[in-house]
Structure 1
Amino acid sequence: MTTPPDAANWRAANRANWDERVPIHVAGPFYDLPSFIAGEDTLRDFELAEVGDVSGKTLLHLQCHIGLDTLSWSRRGASVTGLDFSAPAVDVASDLATQIGATTACFITADVYDAINALDAQTFDIVYSGFGALCWLPDIARWAQTAAALVAPGGFLYLAEFHPFADVLAEDGQTVENDYFERDPIVVDAPGTYADPGAPTTATLTVEWRHGIGDVVSALTAAGLRLEFLHEHNRGHFRLPAGLGVPQVYSLRAAKAG
């Protein structure tokens, strides 16, 4: 495989893009920060049911962005740590924690692949990864090894993610416009963000990767975790209407032996 020149500096390009997204996401209606501060929960109903009671548990959220999901788990009783490579995003998350009185929440700026060192090899009852995270990582095996190392004995990793099949579909949910089995870097040069496509931005280049569900499950089991369930859901994709009859998101839980 020949890596496109634009993909060679993927981390710097993606970080610059995400740094520039932060003020757009803070100000816009997509994340609706006023409603969140007032008490709105950002977690989906199936996430709450599948993760279960988090009271008194320690929870690490990898690639947490501005921390809304992280702090939603905090509101449900977990002691949470959020980690993201965007310093502006971490600053917003930390400020939100103060605003809502989340005294057991902390946020750390670090690349996900450096999480073990950044967290001093601390382990957590729950390692959580939310929607739209894995596509920014080139090496899913390394991600799985990192995440597994951060799970405490007897704990589990929980992943809720956009379904790779849905990602090959056009916005009509019917036309196939991408290759499910494409594993080369996907270089995109476009302004705006998913939260505001019309927003003026300058750091327009991003690099993404497509990971099949088989790739993800195989990587987690190879990293020593035991798959407890894999569920597919026909709703929840940010750009597809519900009820299409295709899997839009998936969720899984993988446990570490006690």
Structure 2
Amino acid sequence: MDERTGRWRELNQASWDERVHIHLGSTFYDVAGFGDRRDSLKDFEKAEVGDVTGKRLLHLQCHFGRDTLSWAARGARAVGLDFSPPAVEAATQLAADLNLDARFVLADVYDAVSALPGQTFDIVYTGFGALNWLPDLPRWASLIAELLDDGGFLYLAEFHPFSFVLDDETGRTVTNDYFDEGPHLSGGPGTYADATAETEHDVTIEWTHMLSSVVSAIAGAGLRIEFLHEHDHTFYLQRQSLQEHADEIYRHPVGAPRYPLTYSIRARKPG
């Protein structure tokens, strides 16, 4: 194991801190356009979560808050939490600029309970590209159970781990070990939002959690899984073999065998 994996939190935070302002200015995130539409959520997320009017919603690993503010625009009493000071600062400013009622808390996700003392929520939400930064899913699920009010639910939308087992060019050949969850050295110069951006903090540590690991962690925390949905589309060029459709949705070519690219879970705390 590379000695850098023990510094996963330090390396990952340095990378995210550096990239916040790159992302704010990128066409990928289109902050100006977001100010007009105030909605960065996927259609199935909105349908599966349902009406959030008046609900207390916590968004874990919120980055600079687009999704948090999208829930706020839909009527939620939203709180976003992230470990990056520049991200929380940017999110707070964006909320003020758009006059949206949301607040943001600076804390590592594993410190969320102590960062929100005595607070519980109707909904805990976590979106795409979050779980791969976490080494300990049972601990993550347990803190979510503690943060949920009785009868509240976790809603998770993520990239499907099976899609990363296959080769990038064709998406038909198994090239990676599904059962090797990591840690993995990752990263590189630039960012998914701007490949040409000049960056210094280019080493990150990630995990590729099996779907069974995610489901088992959630169930093990005492949450009752209401559904697990697997989707045949995604929201970036996850494999070179995918084809772009309207609204930046990527799908398998027509007539080609399909496999899941994303998934979503809703799990409720009894009570």
Per the shorter chain, which TM-score range?
Answer: over 0.9
Asked if structure 2 preserves the Cα contact closer than 8 Å seen for 1:237 and 1:248, the reply is: no
Aligned residue number for residue 82 of structure 2: 84
Partner letter of residue 170 of structure 1?
A: D
Aligned residue number for residue 248 of structure 1: 261
Deviations 1:112-154 (A, max 9, x none): 0000000014110000000000000011111111111111101
Structure 2: distance between partners of 1:184 and 1:48? 32
Structure 2: distance between partners of 1:117 and 1:40? 30
Aligned residues: 255
Deviations 1:42-97 (A, max 9, x none): 10110011000000100000000010001000000000000000010111111110
Name stretches of at least 5 consecutive residues in structure 2 with no aligned partner: 243-249, 253-257
Q: CA deviation at 1:40?
A: 4.1
Report the TM-score when normalising by structure 1. Answer: 0.96
Name stretches of at least 5 consecutive residues in structure 1 with no aligned partner: none
- Give the 5 Å matches for 1:117-136: 117-136=114-133
Structure 2: distance between partners of 1:232 and 1:134? 16
- Give the 5 Å matches for 1:36-185: 36-103=34-101, 105-172=102-169, 173-185=171-183
Q: CA deviation at 1:237?
A: 4.0
Partner letter of residue 178 of structure 1?
A: N
- C-alpha RMSD of the superposition: 1.2
Aligned residue number for residue 21 of structure 1: 19
Aligned residue number for residue 207 of structure 2: 209
The sequence identity of aligned pairs, in percent, is 55
Structure 2: distance between partners of 1:171 and 1:42? 26
Report the TM-score when normalising by structure 2. Answer: 0.91
Partner letter of residue 9 of structure 1?
A: R
Structure 1: distance between partners of 2:42 and 2:188? 29
